[in-house]
Amino acid sequence: TNLLFRVSAVASVKKKKGKKVCDEEVGEIQRSADFFIQPESKATSLNTSQWPLLLKNFDKLNVRTGHYTPLPNGSNPLKRNIADYVRSGFINLDKPANPSSHEVVAWIRRILRVEKTGHSGTLDPKVTGCLIVCIDRATRLVKSQQSAGKEYVGIVRLHNAVENQHALARALETLTGALFQRPPLIAAVKRQLRVRTIYESKLIEYDPERRLGIFWVSCEAGTYIRTLCVHLGLLLGVGGQMQELRRVRSGVLGEKDNLVTMHDVLDAQWQFDHNKDETYLRRVIFPLEKLLVSHRRLVMKDSSVNAICYGAKIMLPGVLRYEDGIEVNQDIVVITTKGEAICTAVALMTTAVISTCDHGFVAKIKRVIMERDTYPRKWGLGPKATQKKAMIQKGLLDKHGKPNGSTPQDWKEHYVDYRYGGGRSSPSDLQTIRIIILKSSTW
């Protein structure tokens, strides 16, 4: 034991000496060598290909200006506190067979204890597959998701045998493009003729013994696959009906995009209630921004965000970055610098016009998504607005900021009343013009 103790002591001494020598060498290098940052003409590029949701490839957006003041308000969609995260999220639900879509959505609302839920398009009770369930704030996107394209995998049963599998495949290819459809008898809508588009369809497998065919179809929202199967049977001359159906894609989300079951939602909420573990809820629910990743983006300054939430026009001076390929009347998404969706909008300028103009309306608001006062108010702080507030306090303007008897003449000369067409004409002048027009029309 003494020998072992001596060996370990010697080893520790050697280790200390070695460490001391190493430290001295580093210190010597730091004293003797010159350390400085060399100037570079090339700026380091930022790799944003792995950034989440609406910030992906942020560095590839066109830069209009980099001059803005970041505000501490708001947060990354994935880092919202759990209450806001649930209220502004959605679930890509694997709808079970037998309950209706409305029943499933009502169950989700009771499980999560939220005020509102909505879904991305009704599925018949017997149909399974993707049902996007939007929660609270995300229900503002329900209408856009309902009109998005859908994909289905179905089974058609033919009443009589066909020549071969190729005949069925050819008939399925024939039923593409714009088709006339009348809703089936069991549909809970008015049975009037309508046009629906089948984008693509293909036969996966055919069993001649049981006369069953499995097919895949990509179609417009509102297409009745049951009616398509009847038309397929009529085209083949043998008759047919839909046996089974599953939706494999709804809009931008499919079966492989984190599809969850009702039991997953129930377990995640139970885990949060009893163990305060929000990990499972965050795996089941996703931010609403994930539904908008296919839209062209417009990045706004933090000071412009709350004004847009209150319905202000989307003006060019508030734009920081914009994406390539924006066309007039195209649906776009307006986002913050943290990647939060402010609103969906309809573009009024193309990418080329945005790059050449310095003022004007960029887009028209379609649906505001963000709650008001998430960001602070930053309007009414300019020199003119400050002067106006001071004049209201002194009584030189009325409480609404309109001229009164005490208003100085120079203010009246430059005052614009937007209630009367935006000109500087007073109401009495406009009344005189109206009288002249009426007299001229009677002559």
Tell me the β-bridge partners of 198: 177, 219
Per the structure, the complete domain to which residue 404 belongs is given by 383-442
| Domain assignment of residue 398, yes or no | yes
Cβ proximity of 287 and 78 under 8 Å: yes
Closest of 149, 284, 167 to residue 221, by C-alpha: 149
Query: Based on the domain organization, do 70 and 84 belong to the same domain?
Result: no
Query: Based on the domain organization, do 373 and 388 belong to the same domain?
Result: no
Cβ proximity of 306 and 371 under 8 Å: no
What's the CA gap between 408 and 397, in Å, rounded?
A: 9
Sheet holding 314-315, edge to edge: 62-63, 319-322, 296-300, 331-335, 341-347, 361-368, 314-315
| Domain assignment of residue 218, yes or no | yes
Query: Based on the domain organization, do 153 and 228 belong to the same domain?
Result: yes
Query: Based on the domain organization, do 264 and 137 belong to the same domain?
Result: yes
Q: Which residues of 61-75 are buried (b: 16+ CB within 10 A; e: fewer)?
A: beebeeeeeebeebb
- pLDDT reported for residue 38: 72
| Domain assignment of residue 36, yes or no | no
Query: Based on the domain organization, do 373 and 326 belong to the same domain?
Result: yes
Q: Where among 237, 270, 288 does a domain terminate?
A: 288
Q: Where among 337, 362, 379 does a domain terminate?
A: 379
Question: What domain count does the chain have?
Answer: 4
| Domain assignment of residue 5, yes or no | no
Query: Based on the domain organization, do 266 and 135 belong to the same domain?
Result: yes
CATH of the domain at 161: 3.30.2350.10
CATH of the domain at 299: 2.30.130.10
| Domain assignment of residue 313, yes or no | yes
Q: Where among 288, 312, 335 does a domain terminate?
A: 288
| Domain assignment of residue 350, yes or no | yes
What's the CA gap between 233 and 215, in Å, rounded?
A: 14
Non-local CB neighbours of 53 within 8 Å, separated by 6+ positions: 77, 78, 287, 289, 290, 293, 339
Q: What share of the chain is helix, strand, coil (3-state, %, to 5)?
A: 40, 25, 40
Cβ proximity of 243 and 157 under 8 Å: yes
- pLDDT reported for residue 153: 94
- pLDDT reported for residue 420: 54
| Domain assignment of residue 35, yes or no | no
Query: Based on the domain organization, do 112 and 163 belong to the same domain?
Result: no
Cβ proximity of 90 and 291 under 8 Å: yes
What's the CA gap between 89 and 118, in Å, rounded?
A: 11
59 is catalytic: no
Query: Based on the domain organization, do 65 and 134 belong to the same domain?
Result: no
Query: Based on the domain organization, do 166 and 240 belong to the same domain?
Result: yes
For the chain, 443 residues long, the average pLDDT of each consecutive 10-residue run is 42 46 66 72 75 87 87 89 92 92 92 90 89 90 83 91 84 87 70 84 89 91 86 88 91 88 93 91 92 91 91 89 91 91 92 88 92 86 84 86 85 71 50 50 50
Query: Which member of 94, 124, 277, 417 is catalytic?
Result: 124
Query: Based on the domain organization, do 238 and 153 belong to the same domain?
Result: yes
| Domain assignment of residue 19, yes or no | no
Query: Based on the domain organization, do 367 and 408 belong to the same domain?
Result: no
Query: Based on the domain organization, do 307 and 372 belong to the same domain?
Result: yes
